[in-house]
Amino acid sequence: METVEKTEQTVGILGGMGPDATVDLMQRIINATPAKDDADHIRLLVDNDPKVPSRIKALIEKTGESPGPYMAKMAQGLEAAGANFLIIPCNTAHKYFDDVVNAVDVPVVNLLDIAAAHVKRTLPEATCIGLLASTAVKITDLYAPACHEQGLEVLFPEPVWQDGVMSLIRAVKANSGTSSMCSVLNIAAESLRDQGADCILIACTELSVVSNHLETSLPVFDAAQILAEHVVERVKG
Catalytic residue IDs: 90, 204
What DSSP assignment string belongs to 2-53?
A: PPPPPPPPPEEEEE-SSHHHHHHHHHHHHHHS--SSGGGSPPEEEEE-TTSP
Q: Are 82 and 18 in contact (CB under 8 A)?
A: no
Are residues 156 and 130 in contact, defined by beta-carbon separation less than 8 angstroms? yes
Cα dihedral across residues 17, 106, 76, 101: positive or negative: negative
Give the amino acid at 176.
S
CB 60 within 8 A of CB 174: no
Question: Which 3 state secondary structure label does DSSP give 131?
Answer: strand
Q: Please state, in angstroms and as integers, the Cα–Cα distance from residue 122 to each residue in 115, 118, 142, 199, following that order.
A: 11, 6, 22, 11
Residue 50 vs residues 14, 17, 46, 149, 206: alpha-carbon distances, Å: 10, 6, 12, 33, 14
Percentages of the chain per state (helix, strand, coil), in multiples of 5: 50, 10, 35
CB 195 within 8 A of CB 155: yes
